[in-house]
C-alpha cells in the first residue's frame, strides 16, 4: 500500500499527504507543477504521473529534506530552486540525513520503517527562482514571493485564481527559525510584510504541516510576534533546560496579546538580530 494519500483542494490543486508533511500538484490548461515532494520515501513518481494530465515541472519552495527528498525521482524534469537554498539542499537532503530524521518520526508513531525505500539524493541541476516570478500554466497563474527567515531563499506561492497563498514553512504556526540555516528574527520581521499587499486577494493560507491550512491571520500574527521577540516581550519558553532555542508564545499561559494566538515562532536567542546571522 502506498504511503501517499492524494486529495483535491480545488479543481487545479491536489494535495499529497505523507507522514509529517504534505505538498501540492497544480495544473492549468497547458502545464503542471509539482510544488515540493516530501521525504523521498517509497515511490512518489507513479502517484504524480497518475494525477497529472499534462507535462509538468518540479518546484522546491526551499531546500529542506522533508520538502525536497524525492526530487531524484523527477530527475528527467526541470527542477526549480532558489539558489540561496542550494547549499542547504546539498547539506541537509543527503539520504542518510533523511533516513535518520524520518526513521525517528516513524518510530515515534509506531510505524514500520523500511530503510530500502529511501530515494538517493538528487544530483542534477536546478533552475533558479526569483522574487516576483510568475508561472503561467495556462489559464492559471502562480506568483512567487520570497519570504526569507525559515531559510534564506524560501518561496511562498500565490494561486491567484483560487485566492489561496501557499505560505508553507515561511509563515505558518509555528515558524521555525531554529534550523542551522535559518535567518534571524529581525530578518523574518522585515520579510513578512511583503505578503501584506497580497492578502487582499487571499481567503486562506495553505501550509505543509499541522493541518495543511490556516486563516490569513497567521501572517499578521506571526509579524506581530516577531516584533514582540525583538522588543523582548515574548514568553521565552524553554522546552528542556539544556535546549538552546526558545518558543515565543506559551500556549497555555501567554502574557502576549490575543493577536499572537494563531502564531508561534521557535528561535535561537543568539540569532535575534541580523548582525548575528
Ligand atoms: Zn522547512
Encode pLDDT of 67-83 as tens digits.
999 999 999 999 999 99
Let me know whether 14 and 115 are in one domain: yes
Residue 147 pLDDT greater than 80, yes or no: yes
What separation in Å is there between the alpha carbon of 61 and the centre of ligand 1?
9
Neighbours of ion ligand 1 (CB under 5 A): 64, 169
Q: What are phi and psi of 5, to 5 degrees?
A: -125, 130
The answer to the question of residue 161 being in a domain is: no
Q: What is the pLDDT of residue 210?
A: 87
Let me know whether 84 and 197 are in one domain: no
**Confidence class for position 186, pLDDT limits 50, 70, 90:** very high
Let me know whether 177 and 139 are in one domain: no
What separation in Å is there between the alpha carbon of 23 and the centre of ligand 1?
12
Let me know whether 136 and 243 are in one domain: no
Q: Region 156-163: what's the mean pLDDT?
A: 97
Q: What is the pLDDT of residue 239?
A: 87
Q: What is the pLDDT of residue 202?
A: 98
The answer to the question of residue 163 being in a domain is: no
Let me know whether 122 and 178 are in one domain: no
Q: Which domain holds residue 257?
A: 171-203+216-277
The answer to the question of residue 210 being in a domain is: no
The answer to the question of residue 156 being in a domain is: no
The answer to the question of residue 165 being in a domain is: no
What separation in Å is there between the alpha carbon of 67 and the centre of ligand 1?
7
Let me know whether 84 and 195 are in one domain: no
Percent of the chain, pLDDT > 70? 100
What separation in Å is there between the alpha carbon of 29 and the centre of ligand 1?
30
Q: What is the pLDDT of residue 78?
A: 98
What separation in Å is there between the alpha carbon of 64 and the centre of ligand 1?
5
The answer to the question of residue 164 being in a domain is: no
Residue 1 pLDDT greater than 80, yes or no: no
Q: Which residues face 16 on adjacent strands? A: 6, 23
Let me know whether 58 and 193 are in one domain: no
What separation in Å is there between the alpha carbon of 202 and the centre of ligand 1?
22
The pTM (predicted TM-score) of the whole model is 0.96
What separation in Å is there between the alpha carbon of 4 and the centre of ligand 1?
19
What separation in Å is there between the alpha carbon of 179 and the centre of ligand 1?
9
**Confidence class for position 85, pLDDT limits 50, 70, 90:** very high
Domain count of the fold of the chain: 2
What separation in Å is there between the alpha carbon of 74 and the centre of ligand 1?
20
The answer to the question of residue 142 being in a domain is: yes
What separation in Å is there between the alpha carbon of 108 and the centre of ligand 1?
20
State the CATH number of the domain containing residue 66. 3.60.15.10
Let me know whether 122 and 5 are in one domain: yes
What separation in Å is there between the alpha carbon of 253 and the centre of ligand 1?
27
pLDDT tens track for 87-146 = 999 999 999 999 999 999 888 888 888 888 999 999 999 999 999 999 999 999 999 999
The answer to the question of residue 154 being in a domain is: no
Let me know whether 176 and 142 are in one domain: no
Let me know whether 129 and 197 are in one domain: no
Let me know whether 78 and 122 are in one domain: yes
Q: What is the pLDDT of residue 204?
A: 98
Q: What is the pLDDT of residue 110?
A: 86
Amino acid at each position: 500500500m502506498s504511503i501517499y494519500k492524494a486529495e483535491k483542494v480545488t479543481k487545479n490543486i491536489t494535495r499529497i499527504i505523507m507522514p509529517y508533511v504534505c505538498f501540492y500538484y497544480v495544473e492549468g490548461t497547458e502545464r503542471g507543477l509539482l510544488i515540493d515532494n516530501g521525504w523521498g520515501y517509497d515511490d512518489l513518481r507513479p502517484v504524480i504521473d497518475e494525477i497529472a494530465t499534462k507535462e509538468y515541472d518540479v518546484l522546491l519552495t526551499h531546500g529542506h529534506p522533508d520538502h525536497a527528498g524525492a526530487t531524484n525521482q523527477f530527475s528527467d524534469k526541470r527542477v526549480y530552486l532558489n539558489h540561496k537554498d542550494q547549499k542547504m539542499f546539498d547539506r541537509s537532503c543527503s539520504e542518510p540525513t533523511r533516513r535518520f530524521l524520518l526513521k525517528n518520526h516513524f518510530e515515534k508513531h509506531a510505524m514500520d520503517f523500511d530503510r530500502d525505500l529511501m530515494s538517493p539524493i538528487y544530483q542534477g541541476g536546478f533552475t533558479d527562482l526569483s522574487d516576483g516570478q510568475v508561472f503561467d500554466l495556462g489559464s492559471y497563474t502562480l506568483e512567487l514571493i520570497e519570504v526569507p527567515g525559515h531559510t534564506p531563499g524560501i518561496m511562498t506561492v500565490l494561486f491567484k485564481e483560487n485566492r489561496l497563498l501557499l505560505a508553507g514553512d515561511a509563515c505558518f504556526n509555528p515558524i521555525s527559525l531554529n534550523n542551522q540555516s535559518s535567518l534571524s528574527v529581525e530578518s523574518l520581521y522585515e520579510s513578512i510584510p511583503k505578503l501584506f499587499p497580497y492578502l487582499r486577494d487571499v481567503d486562506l493560507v495553505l501550509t505543509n504541516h499541522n493541518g495543511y491550512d490556516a486563516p490569513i491571520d497567521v501572517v499578521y500574527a506571526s509579524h506581530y510576534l516577531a516584533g514582540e521577540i525583538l522588543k523582548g516581550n515574548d514568553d521565552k519558553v524553554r522546552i528542556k533546560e539544556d535546549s538552546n532555542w526558545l518558543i515565543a508564545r506559551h500556549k497555555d499561559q501567554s502574557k502576549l496579546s490575543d493577536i499572537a494566538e494563531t502564531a508561534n515562532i521557535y528561535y535561537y536567542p543568539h540569532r535575534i538580530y541580523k548582525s548575528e546571522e
